[in-house]
Amino acid sequence: MTAYETLEQRFARLSALREAAGILHWDMSAMMPPGGAGARSEQLTALDLTCHELMSDPALADLLDEAEGDADSLDTWRQANLRGMRRTWRHETALEPRLVEALAKAQHACEMTWREARPASDFAAVLPGFAALLKLVREAAEAKAAALGCAPYEALLDEYEPGGSAARIDEIFTDLAAFLPGFLGQVLERQAAQPAPRLPPGPFPAAKQEALAHKLMQGVGFDFDHGRLDTSLHPFCGGVPDDVRITTRYDEADFTGALMGVLHETGHAMYERGLPPEWRLQPVGAAAGMALHESQSLLVEMQACRGAEFIGYMAPLARAAFGGQGPAWEADNLLRLATRAAPSFIRVDADEVTYPAHIVLRTRLEKAMIAGDLDPKDVPGAWNEAMESLLGIRPPDDRLGCLQDIHWYDGAFGYFPTYTLGAMAAAQVFATARAAVPDIPAALSRGDFAPLMAWLREKVHSQGALHTTGDLLKQATGKALDPEIFKAHLTARYLG
């Protein structure tokens, strides 16, 4: 075999091990009893170390050098795959085995503590583990920065958004932070002049919410032969392309949060299922980055499912599912409910006008933590002050503040910016899709996502990591990421 062919074999083995770890992570969040935490930590740490050992094999470095010397003989997909292999190798080999093991153990320990600390609003309980984890994350960031030739925070960002620019994100977020307060004020003023939407009266049994979610997921195109829906403390989409695992959390006083959360995660799942199967287990067969991944979830949830067409389809289904009666169940009321903007504490329940402020807050704080400018013990106070500054509200406790997200307590720093980058990309991609396929709105009014998904499969999903996010957006929409399209979408929906 050629050096490149040997690399494909090795990376397929590595990817399979990573996928096994992903399923174990899902089980830890959705099924595992608390008493299994110690054993699960050992299992996941062992997998992390095994993957690191395979990647650190000197022979693999030699194979990469040899394959890159013959790169001109490879086709476009294989060249992109080889670039992905090199990038993965740089990230992995930047860390010593000691640090890989310490990080894995600290992540699992801190996450399990967070699971108990969040509902109790007990930041003090998680602080020692969080401080220890942050110290290791900073050490890893320094090591990766040296290997990649960039700043520490940008090295962490690159794990989730290959080639992402911290300077460009700062520019976009500074502009958003200047735009949003005035825009939100206009939206709130307009809403105040209209009748307030009414939440349909509950209760809404979790089993009935789940049944409705299943029906809507199938309309989007979710294949239950290759995936499932469960519950967890923090909603997420995990698993592997052939076995996608979605979780949500139910509130029996309000069905809308869980339902929109499921549709959001279904967007992630559809992207995973649409990735090129011929490049399964190879870097080029994975998602282009988390900004694009988040664009697919937000396209389904925010762009499509909070639009008038889909709400018109969903309203009678929801009314029938819960035996509802009266004007609160009418489509126009549910639409106003789905598009009502108001400052709120919980990110995953935030509307699309205030959501970017949540991301700006988290991005600024995590950058300060990685730079050493924010001590872990000061995170609750810094969080509350930032929330008051950006949204005019102050969390009454840490459950509604700095403990609400799992990311930092699982060691995931550098992820948060991709949410708002994804929201912007979603607006841009959806606008292009609607222009290219005029039948999309009418199809959504029937609960039929097939025309939209067919376009996304061709233009986005099937491309895997063949291109960077920026290049893929240019090919799919004709231009690079343009924040003005997102602003235009907000203006049309909330002030139009």
Catalytic machinery residues: 265
Question: What type of residue is 104?
Answer: A
Alpha carbon distance 223, 221 (integer Å) = 6
**What distance in Å separates the CA atoms of residue 243 and residue 225, rounded to the nearest whole number?**
8
Strand ranges (E), 105-175:
none
C-alpha to C-alpha distance for 362 and 388, rounded to whole angstroms: 13
Strand partners, 243: 240
Strand order in the sheet with 227-231: 227-231, 243-248, 236-240
What is the radius of gyration, based on Cα positions, of the chain? 22
According to DSSP, residue 196 is labeled P
Sequence-separated (6 or more) residues with CB below 8 Å from residue 161: 289, 290, 291, 414, 417, 418, 421, 469
Partners of 246 in the β-ladder: 229, 237
Nearest to 358 by CA among 422, 305, 401, 412: 401
Give the separation between CA 263 and CA 389, rounded to whole angstroms. 31
State whether the Cα torsion 158-163-168-173 is positive or negative: negative
Report yes or no: 283 and 84 within 8 Å, Cβ to Cβ.
Answer: yes
Alpha carbons 446 and 464: distance in angstroms, whole number:
29
